[in-house]
Chain A
Amino acid sequence: MNHRYHRLPWPLLLLMTVMGSGCTMPEPPPPRSAEPPAARQAPQTLAVIGSDADIESRRRALARTDDAVDPEAAGYFMDVFRARIKRDLADTGIAVDYRDQAILVTFPGQIGFEFGSAQLTAEAAVLVNLLGTILAEYRATLIVISGHTDDVGDPEFNRRLSESRARSVAQHLANMGINQARLMVRGFGSDRPIAENASEAGRARNRRVELMLQLLVRDPILQPDKPESA
């Protein structure tokens, strides 16, 4: 049963997090000259994707699995999912945007990572843990994690840093036992600002990790295939 994964002891989780991403990442001051940490990382299973099409094909693939929710229960799933997130993430500083078939969860940069680092702060780790517990139960979701930075510094470095940070969160979730197939990572660097980079407040808002939790509905088109495969 999935809900048991989150009962892994805390220190182990942290250790896994550190081994997964943190310790391999060199601190990059000055960031401009440093090689982005992810580039030197060993190949891993967490998918880093380049386009929305990748997300769509992954969603289709997952829609055939048992994790997906039946179409008739989709509305119900979103309602209870939403209620659960509302209850657990209230007053944590995490921004939540409820959409029709998805929920966008945003970790603001200031509570997530040290400056220039892809390593989760202890505070952020607790919050990711909280979210991971929910996602372990609400399996009918594709989790697209995307990192964003402000526009200060080398764009390519920023892109890699953002990707590393997204991967860091993904890895944390994977370590909690979340099916890696549900996790997708993107690094946008400073390409997708949500605020003006002219001010420090705007830049702070732009430094963030977003988790787009997309509903996975069992694909009704595939129903005829089922008897054959069974």
Chain B
Amino acid sequence: MRSTRNALWLVCIAGAVGIAAPVTLVLWVIWEQTIIAEEDRLIRLSEDLAAQTEQAIVDARNLLARLNEQTVEPCSQSHLLKLQNEALSRPHVRAIGYWQAAERLCGAGLVQGQRLTPERASRIYDSGVIAWWPGPATTAGDVALFLMRFGNHDIAIDPRLLITPGQLDGKQVALWVEGLKMSAFPENGVFPSPNELPEGLLVDRAGNRIVSRVSLGSLFPIEVVALQDLDDFWNRNRTLIIGIVGIGLALMLVWLALLWRYLSRQLSLEAALRSAIDSGRVHAVYQPVVELDTGRCVGAEVLGRWTEKNGDTVSPEIFVPLAERAGMGTRLTLTILEDLLEHLADWPEDDQTVYHLNLTEDDLTRPQFSQRLQERLDHHGVAAQRIALEITERALLDSERIRHRVMELRKRGHSIAIDDFGTGFSSLAYLQKFELDTLKVDKTFVDSLQTEAVTSRVIQPIIDLARALNLEVIAEGIETGEQVTWLASRKVKYGQGYWYSPPLDGPAFKDWYLERKQ
């Protein structure tokens, strides 16, 4: 039915979501962890760079102050030696100069003799310190220098050397001091301004890179912008991410495949059963029920048989539960009933054989079957007494509603039999609650007769119980004469099984019956 199919799809989707959700969650956590770890790395790197820069600037300022305070003759030998020593002891210092106004009188360092007089200072501090951030005006050779002048001395710093490429680990880094770009690696790299960036990590998919901005400020604000290729980031974390994604996908696929296989089989079987019922490929067969003492046939259990066009048969053990799950239980029962009623039309009027029809749960929980049964019996003119109804223990467990329905059916004249007695539920309370007529002892107990199995001792109490409750007993699955003798000696009245006959189709049963009668 349509609703069943929808329900199955729902189950399928729910299953997929069920597995996708935890996998997604795990992926998200891993991704977040990766980002956090990356951010930590970047913050540490930025802090190192900022500290190096800050130290270099503070050191330069202090050096200039010391040089201004010294008492040596300007541009004397000892003054020049002093400048040279100070310059050489600092790898990032390119030159130290002695100035008068805008004239460089002497100095030491790589831009010796060269006079850098940029048009406009970047900062003039109240202390009298003047600074020129790196730019075209401060370029000597190929290097844009960071210049600082205090009093009569100035210092030229190569800002490239404030960043040690070894510590960058493949990242591109740019450094801003007081909002002005100080240094970058690589030098000609294009970096977004820190003003345009949020603090922290940003994945720039268009640029295929990760951009980070870290702001630090102890003596003066320093900002570090780092760029990392997404490819690089990917490479670093590939193993982890691929592993997790792989496992997640594999789990999902396996789960979906299993689910799909199961459901599609169910769905196709269901569809096949539906078409089999519709096109009459499910029909009734009859297993004779015999009076053990006399061997007289008193009736038959009506069973369903599903025969495919190619002659294959499907066992009722498969298709009955399937029909029940698919909500086709009543349809199946009615199909078999119809077949039975047509069969009965061929029989002599006075015949009193009783046919045992197996009911499904749906037949009892819904009113439909009860009504249709009466309607069909009336239509064919068959007495209710001719049709015994077999109910499983499980169906009887349920509610008052079922009890009423069973009572009503019994009042109409149907005798009620408990099928597979002893295999269902251990509580026997229902035996009191329900008004019943017959117990059918399950084949398992009959099989175990004359063996040492534990169950061999159970059959006697069942027989005793039935007698106490005034119920008829039918033994199922009789296969040997010894079983017949044993059962007959215990006053079991009826039996069925291969010892007498397998289930037979309508005409065959009729033949068998007539043959027996003679």
Interface of A toward B, CB cutoff 8 Å: 2-3, 69-70, 72-77, 79-84, 86-88, 90, 137-140
**Cβ-defined partner of B102 (8 Å) among A2, A77, A82, A88:** A77
Contacting pair B126 A75 (CB below 8 A): no
Known contacts A76-B118, A76-B119; is-contact A83 B130 (Cβ 8 Å): yes
B239 at the A interface (CB under 8 A): no
Contacting pair B102 A83 (CB below 8 A): no
Least distance between B132 CB and chain A CB atoms (Å): 9
Task: Contacts A76-B117, A87-B128, A137-B100 known; list 6 others, CB within 8 Å.
Answer: A70-B102, A76-B118, A76-B121, A79-B120, A83-B128, A88-B128
B151 at the A interface (CB under 8 A): yes
Residues of A within 8 A of B126 (CB): 86-87, 90
Residues of B within 8 A of A77 (CB): 101-102, 117
Complex: how many Å from CA A138 to CA B102? 8
Least distance between A181 CB and chain B CB atoms (Å): 17
Complex: how many Å from CA A81 to CA B125? 13
Least distance between A227 CB and chain B CB atoms (Å): 22
B124 at the A interface (CB under 8 A): yes
Complex: how many Å from CA A74 to CA B125? 19
Contacting pair B128 A138 (CB below 8 A): no
26 CB contacts below 8 A, A to B, read A3-B74, A69-B102, A70-B102, A72-B117, A73-B117, A74-B119, A75-B117, A76-B117, A76-B118, A76-B121, A79-B121, A79-B124, A79-B130, A80-B102, A80-B121, A80-B130, A81-B101, A82-B124, A83-B149, A86-B124, A86-B128, A87-B128, A87-B151, A90-B126, A137-B101, A140-B102
Complex: how many Å from CA A76 to CA B124? 11
Nearest to A141 among chain B residues (CB) is B101
Chain B 99-129 interface 0/1 with A at a Cβ cutoff of 8 Å (1 = within): 1111000000000000101111100111111
Residues of B within 8 A of A88 (CB): 128
Contacting pair B118 A84 (CB below 8 A): no
Residues of A within 8 A of B100 (CB): 2-3, 137
Complex: how many Å from CA A88 to CA B121? 19
Least distance between A185 CB and chain B CB atoms (Å): 24
Known contacts A137-B101, A138-B101; is-contact A84 B128 (Cβ 8 Å): yes
Residues of A within 8 A of B125 (CB): 83
Complex: how many Å from CA A7 to CA B377? 139
Residues of B within 8 A of A137 (CB): 100-101
Residues of A within 8 A of B124 (CB): 79, 82-83, 86
Least distance between B134 CB and chain A CB atoms (Å): 16
Contacting pair A140 B130 (CB below 8 A): no
Residues of A within 8 A of B130 (CB): 79-80, 83
Considering the complex of A and B, which 6 residue pairs feature the smallest CB-CB distances, nearest first?
Answer: A87-B128, A76-B117, A75-B119, A73-B117, A77-B102, A79-B121
* Residues 124-151 of B at the A interface (beta carbon under 8 Å): 124-130, 149, 151
Complex: how many Å from CA A39 to CA B74? 44
Complex: how many Å from CA A90 to CA B127? 9
Chain B 59-82 interface 0/1 with A at a Cβ cutoff of 8 Å (1 = within): 000000000000000100000000
Contacting pair B101 A75 (CB below 8 A): no
Nearest to A87 among chain B residues (CB) is B128
Complex: how many Å from CA A179 to CA B102? 18
**Cβ-defined partner of B118 (8 Å) among A75, A87, A90:** A75
Residues of B within 8 A of A80 (CB): 99, 101-102, 121, 130, 149
Nearest to B122 among chain A residues (CB) is A79
Least distance between B60 CB and chain A CB atoms (Å): 15
Complex: how many Å from CA A82 to CA B121? 11
Residues of B within 8 A of A74 (CB): 119
Residues of A within 8 A of B129 (CB): 83
Residues of A within 8 A of B128 (CB): 83-84, 86-88
Residues of A within 8 A of B127 (CB): 87
Complex: how many Å from CA A3 to CA B120? 26
Complex: how many Å from CA A83 to CA B99? 14
Contacting pair A73 B149 (CB below 8 A): no
Least distance between A214 CB and chain B CB atoms (Å): 15
Contacting pair A76 B102 (CB below 8 A): yes
Contacting pair B121 A84 (CB below 8 A): no
Complex: how many Å from CA A74 to CA B279? 108
Complex: how many Å from CA A86 to CA B125? 8
Complex: how many Å from CA A139 to CA B121? 20
Known contacts A80-B149, A84-B151; is-contact A75 B120 (Cβ 8 Å): yes
Complex: how many Å from CA A79 to CA B125? 11
Complex: how many Å from CA A79 to CA B101? 10
Complex: how many Å from CA A86 to CA B118? 19
* Residues 169-193 of B at the A interface (beta carbon under 8 Å): none
Residues of A within 8 A of B115 (CB): 73
Residues of B within 8 A of A72 (CB): 117, 119
Least distance between A86 CB and chain B CB atoms (Å): 6
Complex: how many Å from CA A202 to CA B130? 36
Residues of B within 8 A of A84 (CB): 128, 151
Residues of A within 8 A of B149 (CB): 80, 83
Nearest to A69 among chain B residues (CB) is B102
Contacting pair B101 A139 (CB below 8 A): yes
Least distance between B68 CB and chain A CB atoms (Å): 10
Nearest to B124 among chain A residues (CB) is A83
Nearest to A75 among chain B residues (CB) is B119
Least distance between B395 CB and chain A CB atoms (Å): 102
* Residues 50-65 of B at the A interface (beta carbon under 8 Å): none
Nearest to B100 among chain A residues (CB) is A137
Complex: how many Å from CA A115 to CA B74? 43
Complex: how many Å from CA A74 to CA B117? 8
Residues of B within 8 A of A87 (CB): 126-128, 151
Residues of B within 8 A of A81 (CB): 101
Contacting pair B120 A140 (CB below 8 A): no
Among A3, A72, A76, residue most surrounded by chain B Cβ atoms (within 10 Å): A76
Least distance between B352 CB and chain A CB atoms (Å): 128
Residues of A within 8 A of B119 (CB): 72, 74-76
**Cβ-defined partner of A69 (8 Å) among B74, B99, B101, B151:** B101
Complex: how many Å from CA A133 to CA B119? 24
Least distance between A3 CB and chain B CB atoms (Å): 7
Least distance between B228 CB and chain A CB atoms (Å): 38
Complex: how many Å from CA A72 to CA B115? 11
Residues of B within 8 A of A138 (CB): 101
Nearest to B99 among chain A residues (CB) is A80
Chain B 150-181 interface 0/1 with A at a Cβ cutoff of 8 Å (1 = within): 01000000000000000000000000000000
Least distance between B355 CB and chain A CB atoms (Å): 117
